[in-house]
Amino acid sequence: MIDERVATLISMGFDQSLSLAALNRFNGNLDRAIDFLLRGGGDTINNNYAGGDVSTTSIIHSEISQYSDPTGRSACTSIALTMACGALSRLRRTGNVDVSLENAIDYSFLCEAIHDGILTYAELQRKSNSGVEHVSVEEFLQISSPLQKFQCLKLLPNSPRQGILTFSTDNPMGFESILSQCQTDGTTQDYVAVVITKPPETVLVLLPSFAPTATSTTQQLYVLLDSHPRPNQLTPHNPSGSYALFHSNLPSLVRSLEDIFPVVDLGSDVNEMMVMMYNSFDVYPFVYSSE
């Protein structure tokens, strides 16, 4: 028997496989699936499947998250920066990035990053004495400089970069376009660590270089690292703690980001500037620096 939500989409003229894919994309939310398909989102699904495997390859999950410590509930930016510094340092030391990525980003890495990120957040909160709970990436980098925190991170030029959550696949300010440009700008490095902030949440993604080494024999992976539990998102993984989700390509990574940062639909009576404000996000691409 066909699910009632699938039947509704089929009655609107969408085929069964497309209907199932749209519902899976939005965790069974029929209204969001309808809006997505009516805005042309079906082309995204068809193009992704036509391009080959867009599935996640594996996930590393920790039972702890930023909420495991009472002082860490607003520490996601500090944790993301800690993860960025730690990941680029580990990958830099291990030499062959393609072989070592899943060894570098493991269970212990997640646990240590959560712990160290929360400690750094508390330390910088005491130092700034501002009373502000959510601290921006710029503020963290400025406050932490005398403490020599995050010294291995070099921000790429023309950053931060602002993006807009959108249903369109070719929007130059969408996730895929901006992250692809970060890859291009960071090709002198093996990986680019990109901190993404969509207030009040911050996550990290690792993007491989566009130019694999001549000796590379393994697939380059795209990684989403997150200190937030997502029990109702990222099906079938639905992580209940922090996690590192490995993807086979950029479209797959973008789908995960769109799942945790969905477009906010404010209705047709809200002006465009307000819609853009609610759907904006900031991107901070970093490469490793030994200076």
pLDDT given at position 42: 63
pLDDT given at position 2: 52
Helices (H), the chain: 4-11, 16-25, 30-38, 41-50, 76-94, 97-104, 107-128, 137-144, 175-185, 250-260, 272-278
Contact (Cβ atoms closer than 8 angstroms) between residue 60 and residue 242: no
Beta-bridge partner residues of 33? none
Q: Is 33 helix (H, G, I), strand (E, B) or coil?
A: helix
Which tops the pLDDT comparison, 58 or 231? Answer: 231
Condensed to tens digits (0 to 9), the pLDDT of residues 149-203 reads 788 899 999 999 999 998 877 788 999 999 999 988 886 667 899 999 998 999 9
Please report, to the nearest 10 degrees, the dihedral formed by the alpha carbons of residues 217, 249, 52, 164 taken in order.
-160
pLDDT given at position 187: 66
Using CA atoms, how far residue 106 sits from 162, 223, 228, in Å, is 30, 12, 17
pLDDT given at position 290: 76
Percent of the chain, pLDDT > 70?
A: 80
pLDDT given at position 283: 97
107-126: average pLDDT: 90
Mean pLDDT estimate for the chain: 82
The string over 71-105, giving b where at least 16 C-beta atoms fall within 10 Å of a residue's C-beta and e elsewhere, is ebebbbbbbbbbbbbbbbebbbeeeebbeebbebb
Q: Is 138 helix (H, G, I), strand (E, B) or coil?
A: helix
9-32: average pLDDT: 76
Question: Which band of pLDDT confidence, cut at 50, 70 and 90, is reported for residue 79?
Answer: very high
pLDDT given at position 265: 81
pLDDT given at position 212: 45
